[in-house]
Amino acid sequence: GDSVTQMEGPVTLSEEAFLTINCTYTATGYPSLFWYVQYPGEGLQLLLKATKADDKGSNKGFEATYRKETTSFHLEKGSVQVSDSAVYFCALTVIQGAQKLVFGQGTRLTINP
Partner 1 sequence: GAVVSQHPSWVICKSGTSVKIECRSLDFQATTMFWYRQFPKQSLMLMATSNEGSKATYEQGVEKDKFLINHASLTLSTLTVTSAHPEDSSFYICSAAQPRSYEQYFGPGTRLTVT
Per CB under 8 A, does 11 bind partner 1?
Answer: no
In angstroms, the CA 64 to CA 71 distance is 12
Binding test (CB under 8 A) with partner 1, winner from 62, 66, 88, 89: 89
Q: Which range touches partner 1 (CB under 8 A), out of 13-21, 52-60, 61-69, 104-112?
A: 104-112
Per CB under 8 A, does 57 bind partner 1?
Answer: no
Q: How far is the CB of 2 from partner 1 (least distance, A)?
A: 11
Q: Give yes or no for a cis peptide into 10 (omega within 30° of 0).
A: yes
Binding test (CB under 8 A) with partner 1, winner from 26, 105, 110, 112: 105
Instruction: Decide: 20 and 11 in contact? Cβ < 8 Å.
Output: no
* DSSP state letters, 36-61: EEE-TTS-EEEEEEE-STT-EEEETT
Identity at 73, one-letter amino acid code: F
Give residues in contact with partner 1 (CB under 8 A).
Answer: 32, 36, 42-46, 49, 89, 93, 95, 98-106, 108
